[in-house]
Structure formats: structure tokens, C-alpha cells
């Protein structure tokens, strides 16, 4: 694809354009039916079960944009079986496609063009939701998070924590070990059916389309949580095709969410033992918090969720999610600002202050600094209209007692690094740091005897370090293509692993975000992809359940590698 063609495609996708005039030479971004696609892509081999169309794949941040790829609407599990066997017979890769709310190129690579790839729109066929008993729900992997939470809430159930966007499919969330932010508050007794690790740790069984040597074909097969193979499937990073899962769900909870913009970041991330309003103090009191800290600003946006069976005095009840309407577009008066940051990086501090001011004024004008409701209504707050940024992501495993040390150590380095870059006239980060804290995966939370760990989950427990009961999540956001962000992220990543992979703590990458940086960008470091990342998932783990074992199991279930992508071929060779 030419540079000019790619530039237009990115611009059109970013603008949300659906179709362009066929005779103009412009590229259709939206759906193009097979009957109109003859001149646009090589024809598909015969025998495809269903009618395909051409459509661009564009991820959340718009930094992964493909040419038009053959896409088909999923008709259900049996249809996936037929598609898998067709893909195997014709040398195609078969890739599930949901909302594309992902940063890493696990599904397809940027610039994929005229490849033998068939995308399967799982949102059209894998959409069943039904309770099984009082503590489990069976859900298709094409169901998005928001309607799932609503369905279980209607019968009095819910999750202890979950991601902030509601427009992610359950299949996509489980593939990367999605999470929210929560640990037990001091004295809190976790309810049966809840887990403070990843969503994948709630799985009690799942169905996947896998290779069957006995019939020499791909078939649908169910895996229980105690079966060995499910350890590789619970978080498979795209190297499998899951059609349905059964999740354990606990009692729904009413939460108070308070937003603070008057606590200095230096106090929140102070040295251990400092006292005051530290992250550890909020975790002790409430167990659930998130920091959104814009660079070159003093006071972040701090959210604190507290279990509250009764309505707190002064808290405003909310009956639906996405209550921070001012954050849609982040923020209306900033729509022209991103371009100016690219043209004038030195304007980054002023741009950050405008973002922080937007939060402060938005909370005031919308009266949402203290809201109260069911968990779904106060924990879902990211919509597609929120500003699109790219992000890196890491989970630092540590003991509860070391959470404050981890954050203070990061704060000291990050502040110094930003200052050093700014003194050289470079501003590589123009989005916030997001900080969350969760527990690690305890398979007993699934309620299944002999349950397997999620082998590839960033939140997988370390049996040799039972004191590591927390995961501190560090995400740095910036606008795509910001100058110097790749060298800055590469330097940061090297520091993170040198500092937190030392025995006192451990560190793993967050699959959905950016990682393996060099000066050329993310996913380019062979040392990370072939060395440090596999080691982070293998050290301290029992034999037969390490990174290489997960790769082997996934190969056994898909020996023809129809469920793969260029990045997965390097990550799970």
C-alpha cells in the first residue's frame, strides 16, 4: 500500500467515514459486498460457508489499520466449525473480530493487505446469555460486557470488578486476561463467586473449536476448568477460537464512587510509611481505586469505590453507566488541541493542564464527584466517543505491603524521566498515567475442584511467592504517533524490568497494551518477545504449565495454525 493511500485510509477511518465514491480512487472504509468487490481484492476460494464482504480493520487508537479484508458474520458455533475447516483446506488464517478495542496487533498486523485472512464478526452469532443455576452464567464470546453485566444484575449477580469500557466482547476480554481495579479492603470478606484477579479466573468451563485427530477435522469441544488444556485457553492472546464460556458470578454490589482532584500525586505516591492520603490508605479503607494523572500536573483524578449497602448521605444515585459525560471526546473544547501538540510538542504541559482542568470542571458541572449505584453503573465509564489514545501496559506483582513502594519508586523515576526529556525539548507523553491495583488469580475462586491457573495471564499467581497477592497496573497513554514516544517507552520498559524483576517483585506485560519496545516502536524487541516475556510467565511455575507448555498445548489444539497472526508467530512460535 502506498504512503498516500495509507494516509488517506487512516484519515478516513479516524473521521468515521463509511464509504467513498467508487470512481474517485478513494478507499472504501466501510463494508463492501462481495458482488461489488471483484476489483478490490482477490476472490475467495470456493466453498465458503456464507457470504463474505470486505471491510477495514481499525483498532481503538487507529494505529493498526489494514486494507480491506474479507470478513464474514458469524452464524453460531457450528458456523465457526465450518469456517475453521474451510480455512484449513484453503490455507487461510481465521481471526475473530469483535469491537477492535485493543492496542496490540494480536488479531492482524498494521498494514495487512490482500492476505489470506478471514475475519469473523463474532458479534452477530455468538450472542447467547443464560444463567445456569444461581452462581454461573453461560455466555457467547460475541456478547459485549455491558449487556452481560445487565443480565446478571437483573438476577442479583455481578462481578467484583471489570474493565471500564462496556463495548468489548467477552471473548476479547478473556483472551487477554482483562481486569478492573479491586483488592479486598481491610476486614472485607470476599463474597462467594467473586474474584480479585482477572475475568479469566471466573471461567468454570469453555467451548472452543479445535483440531480433532480422530476425525481429521476441526470440531467444537468443551473444556472443564480442571482439564489441563484449559490452562492455555483461559488467556490465549488470540491463539484459539473460543465460542462460549461459563463464568462464575457473585452477589451484585452497591458501590459509592467518589472522585477527588485535591490530593497531590506526591502524597498519593509518597514513600511507604509517610502517612496521609496514600494509595495504600485508600486500599485499606475501600479496596478499589484508580488514578488518572496527566503529565506535568500536580493533582490527578482519583476515583475511590467503596462498598455501601445503604445510600451514603450526599451521594447522588445513578441508574445507568457512563456518567462522566464530560470525558466523551476528552473534552469538547480540546478537539483542536491534539493537532497543536503534534505541531508544537512544547505545548504539552499546557495541554495536560487543560485536560486536568476539564476533569475538575466536568465533575463540578455534571455533579458526578460522588455517585452511588450498582457496580455496573459506577464502574463502566469509557465509551467509544472517549478520546482515542495509544498506551503501554505492565503489571507489577508484589505483596500488599509493597504496593506503596512500587508506586513511589515508579513516581520518582517517571517524574525525573519526564523532566529530563522536557529539558531536551522532547515531550513524548501527552496522555495520563493510569494506575490500578488488583489481586492475583486464585483458581479456587472458580469454585471448581482442581481448577487450572490461567497459564498466560499477567495476574497468574506465583506458587513460590504466596506473599505476592497484588498486581499494580501501570499504563502510560499518549496520542498515536507522538514524536519520541517509542524511545521513551523503550527506556521506561527497560527500567521497569530492571527495577521490578528482581525478586522483591515481579513484572509482566499487559497483553492488550503496548510492550516490547525499541526506538522503532512496540512489539519490535526480540529480547522481550523471545526472552523476558516468556521468562516472566515461567519463573516459579510448575513444570508443564509454563510459557512453552502453553504454546505447545495451543499448537496441539490448532496444529495447522489457522488461529495465528504475525505477532503470535513470534510470541508463541
What phi, psi does 219 have (nearest 5°)? -140, 160
Q: ∠ at Cα 558 (64, 535), nearest 5°?
A: 70
Catalytic residue (one of 101, 162, 288, 376): 101
Q: Given the DSSP bridges, would you call strands 242-248 and 370-374 parallel, antiparallel or unpaired?
A: unpaired
Coil, helix or strand for 82? helix
User: Helix and strand tally (H, E) in the chain?
Assistant: 16, 21
Cβ atoms of 181 and 198 closer than 8 Å: no
Cis peptide before 320 (omega within 30 of 0): no
Quick one: cell of 291? 488514578
* Catalytically annotated residue among 229, 290, 493, 510: 290
State the DSSP string of 313-339.
Answer: TTPEE-SSS---GGGBTS-GGGTTHHH
**282 burial class (0-12, 13-18, 19+ CB within 10 angstroms)?**
buried
Q: Is 465 a catalytic residue?
A: no
Catalytic hit among 236, 436, 485, 547: 436
- Catalytic, 519? Answer no
Q: How many whole angstroms separate alpha carbon 315 and alpha carbon 305? A: 12
| Pairwise CA distance, residues 199 & 160, whole Å | 10
Of 77, 115, 434, 510, the active-site residue reads 434
Q: Report the candidate in 458, 452, 445, 454 with the shortest Cα–Cα distance to residue 136.
A: 445
33 catalytic? Reply is no
> Where are any strands of DSSP class E within 191-267?
203-212, 217-224, 242-248, 250-251, 254-260
Q: 495, 517 in Cβ contact below 8 A? A: no
Partnered with residue 322 across adjacent β-strands are none
Whole-angstrom distance, CA of residue 433 vs CA of residue 476: 5
The C-alpha cell of 58 is what?
A: 481499525
Distance CA 163, CA 169 (A): 11
Q: Which of 146, 96, 154 shows the shortest CA–CA distance to 126?
A: 96
Q: Round the CA-based radius of gyration of the chain to a whole number and report it.
A: 23
- The verdict on whether 434 is a catalytic residue reads yes
SS3 string, 147-204, reads HHHHHHHHCCEECCCCCCECCCEHHHHHHCCCCCCECCCCCCCCCCCCCCCCHHHHEE
Catalytic residues: 101, 290, 434, 436
Amino acid at each position: 500500500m502506498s504512503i498516500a493511500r495509507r494516509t488517506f485510509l487512516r484519515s478516513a477511518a479516524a473521521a468515521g467515514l463509511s464509504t467513498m465514491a467508487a470512481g474517485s480512487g478513494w478507499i472504501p472504509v466501510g463494508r463492501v459486498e462481495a458482488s461489488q468487490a471483484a476489483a478490490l481484492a482477490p476472490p475467495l476460494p470456493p466453498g465458503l460457508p456464507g457470504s463474505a464482504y470486505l471491510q477495514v480493520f481499525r483498532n481503538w487508537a487507529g494505529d493498526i489499520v489494514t486494507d480491506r479484508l474479507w470478513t464474514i458474520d458469524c452464524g453460531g458455533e457450528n458456523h465457526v466449525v465450518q469456517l475453521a475447516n474451510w480455512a484449513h483446506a484453503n490455507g487461510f488464517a481465521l481471526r475473530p473480530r469483535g469491537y477492535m478495542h485493543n492496542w496490540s496487533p494480536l488479531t492482524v498486523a498494521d498494514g495487512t493487505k490482500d492476505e489470506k485472512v478471514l475475519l469473523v464478526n463474532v458479534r452477530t452469532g455468538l450472542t447467547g446469555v443464560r444463567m445456569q443455576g444461581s452462581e454461573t452464567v453461560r455466555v457467547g464470546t460475541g456478547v459485549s460486557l455491558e449487556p452481560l453485566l445487565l443480565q446478571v444484575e437483573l438476577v442479583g449477580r455481578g462481578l467484583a470488578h471489570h474493565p471500564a469500557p462496556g463495548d468489548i466482547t467477552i471473548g476479547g476480554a478473556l483472551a487477554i486476561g482483562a481486569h478492573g481495579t479491586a483488592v479486598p479492603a481491610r476486614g472485607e470478606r470476599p463474597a462467594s463467586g467473586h474474584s480479585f484477579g482477572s475475568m479469566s479466573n471466573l471461567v468454570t468451563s469453555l467451548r472452543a473449536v479445535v483440531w480433532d485427530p480422530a476425525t481429521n477435522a476441526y470440531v467444537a469441544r468443551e473444556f472443564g476448568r480442571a482439564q489441563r488444556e484449559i490452562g492455555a485457553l483461559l488467556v490465549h492472546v488470540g491463539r484459539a477460537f473460543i465460542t462460549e464460556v461459563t463464568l462464575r458470578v457473585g452477589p451484585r454490589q452497591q458501590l459509592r464512587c467518589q472522585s477527588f482532584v485535591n490530593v497531590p500525586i506526591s502524597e498519593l505516591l509518597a514513600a511507604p510509611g509517610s502517612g496521609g492520603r496514600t494509595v495504600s490508605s485508600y486500599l485499606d479503607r475501600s479496596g478499589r481505586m484508580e488514578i488518572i494523572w496527566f503529565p506535568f500536573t500536580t493533582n490527578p483524578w482519583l476515583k475511590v469505590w467503596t462498598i455501601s449497602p445503604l445510600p451514603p448521605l450526599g451521594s447522588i444515585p445513578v441508574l445507568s453507566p457512563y456518567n462522566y459525560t464530560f470525558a466523551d471526546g476528552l473534552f469538547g473544547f480540546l478537539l483542536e488541541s491534539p493537532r497543536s501538540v503534534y505541531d508544537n510538542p512544547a505545548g504539552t504541559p499546557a495541554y495536560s493542564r487543560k485536560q486536568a482542568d476539564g476533569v475538575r470542571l466536568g465533575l463540578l458541572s455534571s455533579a458526578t464527584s460522588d455517585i452511588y449505584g450498582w457496580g455496573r453503573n459506577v464502574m463502566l465509564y469509557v465509551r467509544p466517543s472517549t478520546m482515542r489514545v495509544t498506551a503501554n501496559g505492565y503489571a507489577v506483582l508484589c505483596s500488599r505491603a509493597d504496593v506503596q513502594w512500587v508506586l513511589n519508586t515508579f513516581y520518582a523515576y517517571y517524574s525525573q524521566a519526564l523532566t529530563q526529556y522536557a529539558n531536551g525539548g522532547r515531550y513524548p507523553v501527552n496522555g495520563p498515567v493510569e494506575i490500578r491495583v488488583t489481586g492475583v488469580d486464585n483458581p479456587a475462586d472458580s469454585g471448581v475442584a482442581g481448577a487450572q491457573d490461567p497459564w498466560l495471564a499477567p495476574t497468574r499467581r506465583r506458587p513460590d511467592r504466596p506473599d505476592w497477592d497484588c498486581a499494580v497496573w501501570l499504563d502510560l497513554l499518549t496520542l498515536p504517533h507522538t514524536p519520541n514516544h517509542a524511545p521513551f517507552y523503550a527506556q521506561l520498559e527497560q527500567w521497569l524490568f530492571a527495577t521490578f524483576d528482581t525478586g522483591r517483585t515481579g513484572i509482566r506485560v499487559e497483553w492488550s497494551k503496548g510492550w516490547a519496545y525499541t526506538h522503532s516502536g512496540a512489539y519490535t524487541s526480540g529480547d522481550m518477545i523471545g526472552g523476558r516475556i516468556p521468562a516472566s510467565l515461567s519463573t516459579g511455575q510448575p513444570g508443564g504449565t509454563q510459557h512453552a507448555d502453553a504454546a505447545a498445548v495451543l499448537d496441539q489444539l490448532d496444529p495447522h495454525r489457522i488461529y495465528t497472526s504475525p505477532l503470535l508467530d513470534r510470541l508463541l512460535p
